[in-house]
Chain A
Amino acid sequence: MSETLRQSLDLSLFWEYRYTVLAGLAQNIYVFLASAALALTLALFVGLSRVSRHRALRILSTGYAELFRNTPEFVLLIWVYYVLPILISKLLAAKFSLSPFLAAVLALGVAYSGFLSETVRAGIQSIPRGHVEAGLSLGMSRFTILRRIVIPQAIRRMLPEALSQFVSLFKATSIVSLVAVPDIMYQVSMINVDQMRPLPLYTGAALLFCLVIIAATQSINILSDRWRKRGWA
């Protein structure tokens, strides 16, 4: 019994397939980078709209954030991959489909823009009103104040929170195999079909995810420490 356990935990099988597994991991990283960029861009606009002086913008953006924060990523992914193309096809009266990769990026990007916009809103609102008034009193435009005074400070305050959102986003990339993006989970389950040894394969995948996240978190911590030392944060 303990012999079977030892064998099934033996990571050498995982090592044997390292190139396939790494190719899978690369897919996770691509999906992560693309959806993180999308999420950040959307979150900046939505977050700014949420503190806008225009009521309509505030209402719309709050609705957007609430909608996507409260829809499970899994449901969103399935919806974007299967339902959205049908709707668009009807609309265009022409055939339309999304590649698995695009669907994954779109679904995760939009989902996390909901979370991140909340972080952006909180970050912007944490900047004292007096900093803005100082800028206004010197004749700066609202846009210049936003760009030079508010956003640079807000980003530093948002960093820890945003970092944990990005960690979740990276973890969430593990669901993209459901729409057949050839990511690490997809590759591992394919290998498992051949080898029938799920334990070492999935354990290896879990360890790899963990390793990547720890490495990323550590390097960002070092960076923000450096910022703090300069008296910024």
Chain B
Amino acid sequence: MIAPTLSPASTGGPILRCSNVRKSFGANEVLRGISFEIPAGSVLTIIGASGSGKSTLLRCLNHLEQPTSGEVYLDGEPMGVRIKPNGTRVPDKAANIARKRAQIGMVFQQFNLWPHMTALQNVTEALIQVKGLDRAKAADLGRNTLAKVNLLEKADDYPARLSGGQQQRVAIARALAMAPKVMLFDEATSSLDPELTGEVLEVMRQLAQEGMTMVVVTHEMGFAREVSDRVIFLHEGQIDQDGTPEEVFVKPTSERCRRFLSSALS
């Protein structure tokens, strides 16, 4: 395993834990009490129909959305709240939230690369600004990480000159370079042309094999079945089916899940 993916020593408990997470947008309750644990080195895949709350759930995990109630724990520590000595919970300081977010990598459907920076600069920016690495060290680490996603030769290109698949791999490298404890993928291949999804899935597969802890939202059922340790089927903000890929894909007990899968696979 190459250095950038080495995660900081963890406490041995689950890397991420969700405890009865609820999220409403106005009157619309999008997440209705989600709980699960993600052990170190495991891959959790979340599937479900459009609007079932998959993205919202991922965004609650790194506090891009603040849960209306419930808790997310990163390596045993609550995300986004501070528990005062008298037991009351108050919103945490922005700097503390940022410090935890830096340990959670996120890959977006739309890549979200910064177009005014080269591929390498996209990867090194947070290393310099957040981790405080000097430019030379950051560039070294950045190149190593780009090499890992097979894009070393594109290091000095701007995103506009890269294909969608290449852009998404740079985005993965950008998250990976921070040596996160866990990586979140929100439909990383959904905005790619079919012939470009393979190269991105290949990088994700490799990460999973190297023991990266991952939460993956995807419509690629074959991929999900192959790499996941656990699969969750989300329906209207609740966990409707939950188990090993075998249990969810081959013999789902939920009628809804069965119907979703048959429509997704056809």
A140–B116 CB distance below 8 A: no
B161–A133 CB distance below 8 A: no
Residues facing B in A130-177 (CB within 8 A) are: 130-131, 133-142, 144, 148-149, 152-153, 156
A139–B116 CB distance below 8 A: no
Residues of B within 8 A of A141 (CB): 94-95, 98
Which single residue of chain A is at the shortest CB-CB distance from B128? Answer: A148
B110–A130 CB distance below 8 A: yes
How near does chain B come to A72, taking the closest CB pair, in angstroms? 37
How near does chain B come to A147, taking the closest CB pair, in angstroms? 9
Which single residue of chain B is at the shortest CB-CB distance from A132? Answer: B112
Q: Mark B97-119, 1 if CB is under 8 A from A, else 0.
A: 01111111110101011111000
A130 to B105, CA, bound (A): 14
B112–A130 CB distance below 8 A: yes
A153–B115 CB distance below 8 A: yes
B160–A134 CB distance below 8 A: no
Chain A's interface size range is 20 to 34
Q: Mark A105-130, 1 if CB is under 8 A from B, else 0.
A: 00000000000000000000000101
A138 to B126, CA, bound (A): 6
B54 CB–A CB distance under 8 Å: no
Which single residue of chain B is at the shortest CB-CB distance from A156? Answer: B116
A142 to B101, CA, bound (A): 13
Cross-interface CB contact of A139 among B64, B98, B110, B171, cutoff 8 Å:
B98
Given A135-B126, A138-B102, A152-B116: 20 more A-B contacts, CB < 8 Å: A128-B112, A130-B108, A130-B112, A134-B114, A136-B101, A137-B101, A137-B104, A137-B105, A138-B125, A138-B174, A138-B178, A139-B98, A139-B99, A139-B103, A139-B130, A141-B94, A148-B125, A156-B116, A231-B158, A232-B158
Given A130-B112, A133-B112, A232-B115: A144 touches B129 (CB 8 Å cut-off): yes
Which single residue of chain B is at the shortest CB-CB distance from A147? Answer: B129
How near does chain B come to A64, taking the closest CB pair, in angstroms? 27
Give 24 pairs: A residue, B residue, CB < 8 Å, sorted on A: A130-B110, A131-B112, A134-B114, A134-B171, A136-B98, A136-B101, A137-B101, A137-B104, A137-B175, A138-B125, A138-B175, A138-B178, A140-B126, A141-B94, A142-B94, A144-B130, A148-B125, A149-B114, A152-B116, A156-B116, A231-B158, A231-B159, A231-B160, A231-B161
B101–A139 CB distance below 8 A: yes
Residues of B within 8 A of A156 (CB): 116
B62–A140 CB distance below 8 A: no
A138–B116 CB distance below 8 A: no
Q: Mark B141-173, 1 if CB is under 8 A from A, else 0.
A: 000000000000000001111000000000100
Which single residue of chain B is at the shortest CB-CB distance from A227? Answer: B116
B94–A137 CB distance below 8 A: no
Residues of A within 8 A of B115 (CB): 153, 231-232
Which single residue of chain B is at the shortest CB-CB distance from A141? Answer: B98
How near does chain B come to A74, taking the closest CB pair, in angstroms? 39
A174 to B240, CA, bound (A): 72
A135 to B106, CA, bound (A): 10
A133 to B113, CA, bound (A): 11
A29 to B165, CA, bound (A): 50
Residues of B within 8 A of A230 (CB): 158
A133–B108 CB distance below 8 A: yes
Q: Mark A211-233, 1 if CB is under 8 A from B, else 0.
A: 00000000000000000001110
How near does chain B come to A135, taking the closest CB pair, in angstroms? 8
Residues of A within 8 A of B113 (CB): 134
Which single residue of chain B is at the shortest CB-CB distance from A130? Answer: B112
Residues of A within 8 A of B126 (CB): 135, 138-140
Given A231-B158, A232-B158: A138 touches B130 (CB 8 Å cut-off): yes
Cβ-closest 5 pairs across A and B: A139-B102, A231-B158, A138-B126, A137-B106, A130-B112
Residues facing B in A181-233 (CB within 8 A) are: 230-232
How near does chain A come to B55, taking the closest CB pair, in angstroms? 11
Which of A128, A138, A141, A144 counts the most B-chain CB atoms under 10 A from its CB? A138
A231 to B116, CA, bound (A): 7
Which single residue of chain B is at the shortest CB-CB distance from A138? Answer: B126
Residues of B within 8 A of A138 (CB): 101-102, 105, 125-126, 130, 174-175, 178
A148–B158 CB distance below 8 A: no
Cross-interface CB contact of A140 among B64, B103, B106, B129, cutoff 8 Å:
B129
